[in-house]
A and B are shown apart, each in its own frame.
Chain A
Amino acid sequence: MQVQFKDVTMSYGDKEVLEKINFTIPEGKLVSILGPSGCGKSTTLMLISGLTYPSNGQIYFGDKEVTKQDAVKRKVGMVFQNYALYPHLTILENIMFPLKMEKMPKNKRKERALELARLVQIEEQVDKKPKQLSGGQQQRVAIARALAKEPSILLMDEPLSNLDARLRIEMREEIRRIQQETGVTTVFVTHDQEEALSISDEVMVLNEGAIQQNSDPITLYHKPKNRFVAQFLGTPVINTIKVADHPELLNRLRLSEIMKPEVQSIGIRAENIKVTTIESEALLSGIVNHVSRVGKDTTVYIEVNGHSLVATNLGVIPEEGTMIHITADIEEIHLFNFNGKVIELEAVK
């Protein structure tokens, strides 16, 4: 179901966790809420679930306002980081629990639970207790339980954080598969950008209680709206260079005179840095500080005027200690104004 927030504010005492946020989660999509810890992403999830109510603003499920309705009325399904399975019940009983609360007849309940166990591929474990299962299996059970009552929306609060790296990748593919098979609108909270970018239809980046950007993963990465988003996404972190430290940049970028005073810094992703032999074409020049090779990846650290830049995609690997001239395509360079907002390229040309 489509979920819409209208001017939702949430404060605990004097502390405002979310400030007048507005967004729409389209029906049938998998949307990630991404942000550093303490940015309000879990609060947002709790507000969608109806486990907590906003201090101000309205929440809509479809066309219906649900601001004051509880989790049961909203019919949400929820998956927690620590699985939150009922330890004293078997897997099957765990999956049946929400149906039991709905007073579904017992045989129907069992049938539905087994169907879900098959969907999440744990049908052989249904008679075990949660403790006998691995973390990944427990998370599968938690998903099955959340899906049991055919929720209007499936909410996941950092569901993969307790799993080891390999299992995390496996489970995130599973979540994507299950989401697409069931078509349930899903909100997925995470602090892991890779997780968010890899499985979501849309990513909502949150910081300090405000939405920074809400778009599909590719746009988010290539067209960040501000410096926070640019820096939060991507490994290694995007190189940012302050214009104040390199006044020559503005001329080399061939910016119009009107634009020049607005640019506070520029950002170039590590993979977009290129080497050029012609010094006049270069944006910056620097000394190769260190070259690190890990498997197929080579990372070059370049020292420019006391700042370190990272490049990962240089065609020819320079030797340590040599001077190189670097540049990047103008489309790959992000210009930030003094508020940290991106200055659109169209405006620049």
Chain B
Amino acid sequence: MEEVNHKETPLMTKLFKARKKSETETVKDSNPASKIAVYILLTIGSFTMLIPFLWMISTALKSPAEAVAMPPVWIPQIFRIENFARAFEVAPFGRYFLNSVLITSISTLGELLTTILAAFAFAKMKFYGKNLLFTILIATMMVPGELLIIPNYLTISKLNLINTYSAMILPYLASVFSVFMLKQNFESVPNELYYAAKVDGTSDFKFLWMIMVPLSKSAIVAVAILKIIGSWNSFMWPLIVTNERLLRPLPVGLQAFTTEAGTQYELLMAASTIVIAPMIIIYLFLQRYIIMGVAKSGLKG
């Protein structure tokens, strides 16, 4: 999870900046000095967040000597673009990439499916023991993820799933946090809409897919983004449940650069750049939904 946070923060900063900007724009009469101060603070903040990124990209272009040089070299003398090509030779990154795409997409789709159904049940349906069940679910959020590694491993191994894609996907097909988040969003959809749809002849299931889901698009995309990033960056679990090199996703694959002889930092950073590039692209494409999700908290019928 730590890794996830690292890679997320710079983008969060950008997002925060974007929101902040629109806020200051609406407050036209705020004085220029405070505006400048705000911008300076934000610039410093976002620059701090960007440093690891810049360092990664710069190291990816360095020679092996420059990568470990002290004092640090910020701008390499020659940009060694070939580092990227060499990184690909060290390990089967094409295969890793496909593995990552497969695992991420299936677990994201799976989680969305379970989350949407569960959130709808908790938000709009009436059944016996609903509140108790939801309380228990929420309580599980208090269990630290690390604690689940051993029981999950035992379950997976009893199911004979070690060394399969299923091992990496199955435990992540549901998320209580996502259910919680989406439930809140579903609850903001007025009941009249549900009744109207019922009168118009929809079943619960049709109402969910034809009305509820399109209306909660922003929240669903936000859940999906969190899931995609988390799944794409997951390292520990895939490492534990796979022995077969070819089954592993990208973050585990990055280990290939750490050998008994030491770590090839410039190649590791080149590969890392490639690993996180898709996330940045996805994030940039979908971030407007997140902003929408934040801005459009209430839904008028």
B145: interface (CB < 8 Å): no
Q: How many A-B residue pairs have CB under 8 A?
A: 61
CB pair B199–A82 under 8 Å, yes or no, is no
CB pair B199–A49 under 8 Å, yes or no, is yes
Q: Which of B189-247 contact A (CB under 8 A)?
A: 190, 192-193, 195-202, 206, 211, 214-215
Nearest CB in chain B: distance from A109 CB, A? 13
CB pair B215–A72 under 8 Å, yes or no, is no
Nearest CB in chain A: distance from B172 CB, A? 30
CB pair A101–B200 under 8 Å, yes or no, is yes
CB pair A85–B301 under 8 Å, yes or no, is yes
CB pair B300–A98 under 8 Å, yes or no, is no
* Cα distance, A87 to B198, chains bound together (Å): 16
A60: interface (CB < 8 Å): no
Q: Which chain A residues lie closer than 8 Å to B201 at the CB level?
A: 72, 98, 101-102, 149
Contact of B195 among A51, A131, A145 (CB under 8 A): A51
* Cα distance, A189 to B200, chains bound together (Å): 20
Q: Which chain A residues lie closer than 8 Å to B299 at the CB level?
A: 87
CB pair B198–A84 under 8 Å, yes or no, is no
Chain A minimum-CB-distance residue to B299: A87
Chain B minimum-CB-distance residue to A85: B301
Q: Which chain A residues lie closer than 8 Å to B192 at the CB level?
A: 80-82, 84
A83: interface (CB < 8 Å): yes
CB pair A87–B215 under 8 Å, yes or no, is yes
CB pair A83–B199 under 8 Å, yes or no, is no
Query: What number of A residues sit within 8 Å (CB to CB) of B?
Result: 25
Q: Which chain B residues lie closer than 8 Å to A146 at the CB level?
A: 199
Q: Which chain B residues lie closer than 8 Å to A78 at the CB level?
A: 195-196, 199
Q: Which chain A residues lie closer than 8 Å to B215 at the CB level?
A: 86-88
CB pair B193–A86 under 8 Å, yes or no, is yes
Which of B190, B200, B215 has the most C-beta atoms of chain A within 10 angstroms of its own C-beta? Answer: B200
Q: Which chain B residues lie closer than 8 Å to A101 at the CB level?
A: 200-202, 206
CB pair B202–A83 under 8 Å, yes or no, is no
CB pair A71–B199 under 8 Å, yes or no, is yes
Nearest CB in chain A: distance from B281 CB, A? 27
* Cα distance, A237 to B198, chains bound together (Å): 40
A76: interface (CB < 8 Å): yes
Known: A86-B196, A145-B196. 19 other contacts (CB 8 A): A51-B199, A71-B198, A72-B199, A78-B195, A80-B192, A82-B301, A83-B301, A84-B196, A84-B301, A86-B193, A88-B215, A97-B200, A98-B199, A98-B201, A101-B202, A102-B201, A131-B300, A149-B200, A149-B201
State the A residues within 8 Å of B (CB): 49, 51, 70-72, 76-78, 80-88, 97-98, 101-102, 131, 145-146, 149
State the B residues within 8 Å of A (CB): 190, 192-193, 195-202, 206, 211, 214-215, 299-301
Q: 11 A-B residue contacts at CB 8 Å?
A: A78-B199, A80-B196, A82-B301, A83-B301, A84-B190, A85-B196, A88-B214, A101-B201, A102-B201, A131-B300, A145-B200
